[in-house]
Structure 1
Amino acid sequence: MKKPLLASGIPCLLTFAFSASASADTAVKIGHVAPLTGAIAHLGKDNENGARLAIEEINAKGLRINGETVRLELDPQDDAADPRTATQVAQRLVDDRVVAVVGHMNSGTSIPASKIYSDANIVQISPSATNPTYTLQGFKTTYRMVATDAQQGPALAAYARNKLKVSTVAIVDDSTAYGQGLANEFEKAAKAAGMTVLSHDATNDKAIDFRAILTKIKGENPDAVMYGGMDATGGPFTKQAKDLSVRAKVLGGDGLCSEKLADLAGAAVNNVICSEAGTALESMPGGSAFQAKFQKRFGQPIQLYAPFTYDAVYIIVDAMKRANSVDAAKIVAAMPSVVYRGVVGETSFDSRGDLKHGVISLYGYKDSKRSLIEAERM
């Protein structure tokens, strides 16, 4: 009597095991890297939140690749804006078997990390690295969501010359790959436009006291001072310039051009003109809707590049769908043919991994609020 019971029970057990296996999701990790500690952690967390929001949405809607249900997992890492840490974090993500990486935030961390991702054949999409070197290394895994400093520097210089009527300029950079790279591109374009560069000084990305440099610049009496660096140092730089009665306009790039700059620079922020290597949030096709759901989810406004990290995750998923695979190598193979329409507009890449249609947006501050002046399509 027992044998029939055992025999009839085996199919039930097999059916249960099969059902449990079939219903299990395939977990797929996407890495994200930005500085989550240190002076620019607010920008890094903003980027991470953009990526996290995309992953939460995709999981809520449901994702199927090659007939299997896929659940995305964000693997967030902190590179502290430090190049050496960036390479360690990159190797950690390779070891974690991520299928792609959104990051790093800074040029100085994106560039050294890119070789590690290239060697592992893993797609890397930086939402904000602007140094041209990043995509000039010949890696087929390397992409960026923004224009380059070879475009941003000239756009800022052209505005200074043509609209602000700047004739003389002093330049200061923070000695990072980003700050120095942007300052050098600006300097070349400024000279080509007929401006006189009175000086080019270097500080560092940990500096808090700029009075010695600014006192020298005050004696030079330039029409404008161009600062190549991030808001964490650019804010105090701008405030101290006002305190020392430096009459010049302060010009800066996207690292300076954040919502938090007003808190860091105080009333002096109204003297800043800055550029962003991407479409302004208010000009993005999906900007207002994204801003509303970002604010609802995280309880704070967008700082800078969260829309780009958000779209970068969707671009990776788009490549998965077209490859019909979650294999990292197949995602790499699908990336060159990306044509994705998302929050920031249409994204497609050239053979180097740069945008085919970059945009430079120029901003000013009035009553401590950032406002778009104009945008230039590259």
Structure 2
Amino acid sequence: MSHKELQRVSAAAMVALLLVSLALVGCASELSGESYLYVAVPLTGDMASRGQEIAGGVRLRADEVNRAGGILGKRVVVRTLDDGGDGDTAVEAAQQVSAAVRKGEPVLGVVGHYNSGATGPALDKVYKDLDIVVVTPGSSNATLTQKGYTRFFRVVSTDDIQGPVDARKVLSLGWKRIAVLHTDNLYATGLASAFTDELKRRGVEPIVDIEMKYNNVGAYLRELQGNVDKTLALSPDGIFFAGDYPEGIPLLESLRTAGYQGGFMTGDSVMEYEFIDTLGSKAEGAFISNIQPEMAAAATESWKSAYRSLEKRSPGMDSITGYAAAQVLLEGIKQANTLRGAAVADSLRKLELKTPVGDWSADAKGDMRVRKIYLFQVRGGVFEQVGEER
């Protein structure tokens, strides 16, 4: 190669390198600053594992969006808030979001809260006055979308669908003497009521309805044996429990230890892998309904790998709902091309999106248009799906 040819090749290489550098600089300059996606979930207390799973799913979706160029030219930064699964603490968390909005910070919206008893007060006292969208990854109490809030959405089904499905299931199993036990939070009382109403509609009256403490495991455990004794004295052939896994696990443990071999059914907030890990063979045969598909079956292997790479741990049951909630919210902002909550909400009502929890679209109230209930039974140490209803 001659000296002149070498010069031409070198010049061409320099131009190519310069173009690549400019392209990289251009991509970086497109992300001019940060925008903030809040995640308000229980990060401490009895329900902390659920909150951590949700936050991990949100972070994964934010990471994917940032790699693809961010949202409205800004990098998505996830800010987590601990609501402790408690209504008062949830309001305090929501007030931190409100403060950020008042300061003029670019707030994308909120993924939260997990518990219906936390979401309700936060909506009533704070979010209703903010022009931002809130997408819950887990709150299923039906009344939340019956209050006229136009910027609130869900990525899960609701108790008024789940309760009747559960009631029909236990009746199909031949249960006649049915005991209903539940904790005293909004989620559990709503699910228990929907379950009981369907039983009564079909001519069956529960033999007992016992309400127990929520979010106070110490008090719950002190009263547990008495509640178990009271229930078993009535010789039920089936027990339905509405509550969360910190209460559901010791309940079934106590029932089996006392010699109860009858049927047991519970809802989505007990469907945690810890339920099987802790109870072992005592969990066998238990039926569980869920307002979302099981993570292990619904998520792809590449999705699970990406989650582990980012979070340095395996995804949990609610990692997919956190991801889906963030996916829905960020796609709504992208389609609306603005952070104004009213406009984002309008775009969400026109949106059809594939998510890890299934095909998502919303009705006028913010509920999913197609609300499925997934039925599982513990078999061989795993949650085996045994049905699906709408």
Scaled by the length of structure 1, the TM-score of the pair is 0.88
Structure-2 residue corresponding to 1:160: 170
Contact kept, 8 Å, 2:289 with 2:375, in 1: the verdict is yes
Contact kept, 8 Å, 1:101 with 1:123, in 2: the verdict is yes
Q: Is 1:222 equivalent to 2:220 in the alignment?
A: no
Separation in 2, partners of 1:301, 1:362: 24
CA shift for structure 1 position 29: 0.6
Structure-2 residue corresponding to 1:331: 344
Structure-1 residue corresponding to 2:266: 252
Give per-residue Cα distances to partners, 1:256-290, cap 9 Å, x unaligned.
11111123434311142111012333554x54443
Separation in 1, partners of 2:233, 2:257: 15
Query: Partner of 2:92: helix, strand, or coil?
Result: helix
Q: Is 1:192 equivalent to 2:194 in the alignment?
A: no
Separation in 2, partners of 1:310, 1:256: 20
Q: Is 1:142 equivalent to 2:175 in the alignment?
A: no
Contact kept, 8 Å, 2:83 with 2:93, in 1: the verdict is yes
Q: Is 1:236 equivalent to 2:250 in the alignment?
A: yes
Match of 1:277 among 267, 278, 291: 291
Contact kept, 8 Å, 2:31 with 2:70, in 1: the verdict is no
Match of 1:86 among 85, 90, 110: 90
CA shift for structure 1 position 208: 2.1
Contact kept, 8 Å, 1:307 with 1:344, in 2: the verdict is yes
Contact kept, 8 Å, 1:32 with 1:77, in 2: the verdict is yes
Structure-2 residue corresponding to 1:13: none
Amino acid at match of 1:322: Q
Contact kept, 8 Å, 2:295 with 2:316, in 1: the verdict is no
CA 1:52/1:85 → structure 2, altered by over 3 Å: closer, same or farther?
same
Structure-2 residue corresponding to 1:119: 129
CA 1:22/1:257 → structure 2, altered by over 3 Å: closer, same or farther?
closer
More divergent stretch after superposition (305-314 vs 49-58): 305-314
Separation in 2, partners of 1:96, 1:310: 23
Structure-1 residue corresponding to 2:61: 54
Contact kept, 8 Å, 1:259 with 1:304, in 2: the verdict is yes
Q: In angstroms, what is the RMSD of aligned CA positions?
A: 2.0
Q: Map 1:1-378; keep pairs closer than 5 Å.
A: 25-63=32-70, 65=72, 69-97=73-101, 98-115=107-124, 116-162=126-172, 164-205=173-214, 206=216, 207-209=220-222, 210-281=224-295, 284=298, 286-376=299-389, 378=390
Contact kept, 8 Å, 1:340 with 1:346, in 2: the verdict is yes
Separation in 2, partners of 1:292, 1:38: 28
CA shift for structure 1 position 299: 4.3
Contact kept, 8 Å, 1:167 with 1:194, in 2: the verdict is no
Contact kept, 8 Å, 1:221 with 1:247, in 2: the verdict is no
Amino acid at match of 1:249: G
CA 1:302/1:161 → structure 2, altered by over 3 Å: closer, same or farther?
farther
Which segments of 5 or more consecutive residues in structure 2 lack a partner in the other structure? 1-25, 102-106
Query: Partner of 1:197: helix, strand, or coil?
Result: coil
Which segments of 5 or more consecutive residues in structure 1 lack a partner in the other structure? 1-18
How many residues align? The count is 354
CA shift for structure 1 position 339: 1.2
Amino acid at match of 2:165: A
CA shift for structure 1 position 194: 3.5
CA shift for structure 1 position 360: 0.4
Structure-2 residue corresponding to 1:10: none
Contact kept, 8 Å, 2:157 with 2:367, in 1: the verdict is yes
CA 1:23/1:281 → structure 2, altered by over 3 Å: closer, same or farther?
closer
Amino acid at match of 1:51: V
CA shift for structure 1 position 51: 0.6
Separation in 2, partners of 1:90, 1:117: 7
Give per-residue Cα distances to partners, 1:307-353, cap 9 Å, x unaligned.
12112212122112211123344323322212112222210011110
CA 1:357/1:257 → structure 2, altered by over 3 Å: closer, same or farther?
same
Give per-residue Cα distances to partners, 1:108-150, cap 9 Å, x unaligned.
0011111311211211110111110111111001111111100
Query: Partner of 1:200: helix, strand, or coil?
Result: strand
Contact kept, 8 Å, 2:131 with 2:340, in 1: the verdict is no
Amino acid at match of 1:293: A
More divergent stretch after superposition (328-337 vs 137-146): 328-337
CA shift for structure 1 position 22: 5.4
Query: Partner of 1:52: helix, strand, or coil?
Result: helix
CA 1:121/1:214 → structure 2, altered by over 3 Å: closer, same or farther?
same
